[in-house]
């Protein structure tokens, strides 16, 4: 029998995963895994538990939660040199990365993906030393998952992200940035940007429909300053995933991206990034793709 550690966030999504732990353990056990369940009580708990695995043989780690929960586990694994394939049992609200990997939303079916042991290496990103599985973002829309009311999010699911996005349009403030890739330097005033490993973020599933976690590249999407009425129309194009060719959008793919502020920003919150739904480092930042740096269970 192989050893699997199942880490779950009891506060993710509608908090229903706790009622389905036993069926998931049964599926994993039938797949040949002796499963240890660990409940996190704070964001730091995943780090503490992964640290305890240092030097111990572990065959797999499963995470039940949203992108933020997976992010904390992956960062802890990289920090302490724990090398094991990661399975995702999505129990957050948006589950952007799990959706990209086509992992079922049903808990038992997601556990079945792990039990079938189809393991594939995927790219991950790193920004100023902080790893991310799905996205590093800043500006409008980027902090929706941090600022949205938990009860509202649980009641309305992904719709809550769209409502919050429309609400933020009224407070648009551009950032003047220097954005560099391996070939070009762009100086633009932008409302927000996403450096994507997967295809979507914050409940917006098609921010870069052609994104791949196996190409060694990050998809960079930024929306430039424009009149408010144009932004309202562009917002609906973003929801539909048909906006990358719009002249108000800067889009490219590269392995390494630098972002710097071109002027002093009085509101320091504007320089704060969001990394997989968690607070990330402040601009200036350097973002890199790490090809094949994580093994995951996928359908």
DSSP string, 69-81: HHHHHHHHHHHHT
Token output for 157: 């699911």
Tens digits of per-residue pLDDT, 254-294? 999 999 999 876 666 778 899 998 999 999 999 999 999 99
Confidence at residue 214, expressed as pLDDT on a 0 to 100 scale: 96
- 83-117 pLDDT tens trace: 999 999 999 988 999 999 999 999 999 999 999 99
Q: Find residue 72's DSSP bridge partners.
A: none
Rounded-to-integer distance, Cα 140 and Cα 134, Å: 18
Residue 138 or 55, more confident: 138
- Decide: 135 and 201 in contact? Cβ < 8 Å: yes
- The arithmetic mean of pLDDT across residues 56-85, rounded, is 96
pLDDT score of 206 more than 90: no
User: For residues 235 and 140, is the Cβ–Cβ distance under 8 A?
Assistant: no
Where do the domains of the chain lie?
A: 2-117, 132-289
Is 2-117's fold the same as 132-289's?
Answer: no
Report the top-level CATH class of 132-289.
mainly beta
- Give yes or no for residue 169 having a pLDDT over 60: no
Q: Coil, strand or helix: which one is 166?
A: helix
Predicted local confidence at residue 229, as pLDDT? 77
CB 4 within 8 A of CB 36: yes
Confidence of residue 211 (pLDDT cuts 50, 70, 90): very high
The predicted pLDDT at position 173 comes to 79
Q: Which residue in this structure is represented by tokens 């906006």?
A: 243
Residue-level pLDDT at 55: 81
| pLDDT given for residue 152 in this prediction | 38
Task: Write out pLDDT tens, residues 233-256.
Answer: 787 787 777 888 888 999 999 999
Crossing angle (nearest 10°) for helices 228-240 and 158-169: 160
Confidence (pLDDT) at 70: 97
pTM: predicted TM-score of the whole model, two decimal places = 0.88
What dotted CATH number matches 2-117? 3.40.50.10330
Contact 94, 158 (CB under 8 A): yes
Whether the CB-CB separation of 84 and 60 falls below 8 Å is answered with yes
Nearby residues of 205 by Cβ (< 8 Å), 6 or more positions away:
96, 99, 199, 241
Six-digit token string for 156? 């309305």
What is the average pLDDT score of the chain?
88
Predicted local confidence at residue 97, as pLDDT: 96
């Amino acid at each position: 029998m192989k050893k699997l550690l199942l880490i779950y966030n009891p506060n993710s999504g509608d908090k229903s995963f706790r009622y389905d732990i036993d069926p998931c353990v049964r599926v994993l056990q039938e797949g040949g895994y002796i499963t240890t369940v660990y409940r996190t009580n704070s964001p730091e708990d995943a780090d503490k538990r992964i640290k305890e695995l240092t030097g111990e043989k572990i065959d797999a780690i499963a995470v039940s939660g949203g992108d933020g929960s997976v992010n904390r586990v992956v960062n802890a694994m990289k920090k302490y040199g724990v090398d094991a394939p990661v399975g995702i049992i999505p129990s957050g609200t948006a589950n952007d990365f799990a959706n990209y990997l086509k992992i079922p939303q049903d808990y038992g079916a997601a556990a079945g993906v792990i039990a079938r042991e189809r393991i594939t290496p995927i790219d991950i990103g790193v920004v100023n030393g902080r790893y991310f599985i799905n996205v590093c973002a800043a500006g409008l829309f980027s902090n929706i998952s941090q600022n949205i009311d938990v009860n509202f999010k649980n009641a309305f699911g992904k719709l809550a992200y769209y409502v919050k996005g429309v609400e933020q349009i009224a407070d648009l403030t551009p950032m003047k940035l220097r954005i560099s890739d391996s070939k070009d330097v762009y100086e633009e005033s932008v409302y927000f940007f996403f450096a994507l490993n997967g295809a979507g973020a914050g409940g917006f599933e098609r921010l870069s429909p052609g994104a791949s976690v196996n190409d060694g590249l990050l998809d960079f999407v930024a929306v430039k300053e424009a009149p408010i009425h144009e932004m309202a129309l562009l917002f609906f194009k973003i929801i539909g995933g048909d906006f990358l060719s719009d002249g108000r959008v800067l889009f490219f793919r590269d392995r390494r991206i630098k972002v710097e502020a071109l002027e002093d920003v009085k509101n320091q919150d504007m320089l704060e990034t969001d990394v997989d739904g968690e607070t990330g480092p402040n601009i200036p930042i350097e973002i890199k793709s790490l090809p094949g740096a994580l093994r995951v269970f996928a359908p």
